[in-house]
Structure 1
Amino acid sequence: MFVRRQIKMPVPEQAVIGPLLKADLLQACFASDDILNDARQRAADIIEEAHQQAEQIVREAVIQAESISEGAKQDAEQQVWNEANGLISGLQQAEEQLWAGVEESASQVLNSVLASVLNDVGHQDRIRLLVQKLVATQRQSHKGILYCASGDQNLVADVLEEQHLSFWQAEVDNGLNAGELRLETDMGLFRCSWEVLRQALVSCDGASDN
């Protein structure tokens, strides 16, 4: 048969359980965790925003640096082109001066050679050229007298016969030098000399070079 008994068990002092946590305290703890998490999230957002701003600053700095570099490059290229253009202009001027000197020298040499060649022309050929020059001045054939130096009369007569200029007659004029002719016709008086013709040929060649 069961007997109801009451047993008392002593509890040690160190095992005494303290007061239980109140509900409002638990809510405060949970709230503090939310605040902490929110703070951490906001801190993370601030850090991310700072990173983005830093990256934006870096990108803008890079763009600005590239712009400055491109501007400096363009300035440098422009300076190089300016120097190149100056050099080219200087070379062109030097070339023009060189060619001017060459042309002048060539003209002098040509005139010298031409003068030498004309000086080597035989006297009979000189008379022939002078007669041809006088013929070129006549529009029509007119009778006339062709005066020459006494030593040139036979040469002049031979040239007139050679060129079938029978309407001109060779006569001596002691006032004329060798290589000088004077033609008198109804059209007027015409003079011609080898020295004048030679100078005209040399001057004409020099003028054509210029």
Structure 2
Amino acid sequence: MSMKLLPVDGAWVDAMISLANSPWTRQAVERLFVDRGWIQADDAGTARVPWQTGGEVWPQLDLPMASGPLPDDSDETGWRLDLGAPPPDEEADEVDRHSFVAFPFALLWPPLTTEEPDDEDDEDDEDDLQEDYSAEWVRYPDAGPAEFEAEFHRVRALIEDRIGPPTRTVGDITIGWTRAIWDRGTMALTLSIEDDIATYSFYDHIALGIWPTAAAAGTEDT
């Protein structure tokens, strides 16, 4: 078993709360991305955010790293946002329930619901994707579910210090999926433990997210 984390602090929590509180329009959200340095606008002032526009797996926006940018030919995963459908162009328009931004910052291997292997000396019993992640991810090679859950509660406490307890909570850690939800109007801030779609569920991850309030509970059709 092993865990790796990005060093999430109060500044990151503040950024996600600010995003959840802001108008959920494409112009407003992309402007916040630019203002926070998550993406650079082109010469025309347009931010080329790779929102999901088809049936592809969630697009990712690679973020600037504290240690500087990765080489252009690097395939390593560092700080990133997972993106859903784009926000509407106008605030009065209906928000697509698949419009979201998620920031995964903790990875656990094997996932919470994985059965213990019969052979503890199995050579395949290791994190085969370890080298796919940049040095920004802090490795904890002996950490397991208890440490993973502790990280969830640490970040939850940072949120509660700012905006109070969740409006609602769905799922349960015992089934490998849970989501704390803070409704903020049209959108909701979420803190979730769930399977990591980007690695085809090789990991469980903890993620901060912004979802439409009606879709924040993560029903099957979201």
TM-score range, shorter chain: under 0.3
TM-score scaled by length of structure 1: 0.23
Larger Rg: 1
Quick one: higher RCO (CA 8 Å, sep 6+), 1 or 2?
A: 2
TM-score scaled by length of structure 2: 0.22
Query: Which is richer in strand?
Result: 2
Query: Which is richer in helix?
Result: 1
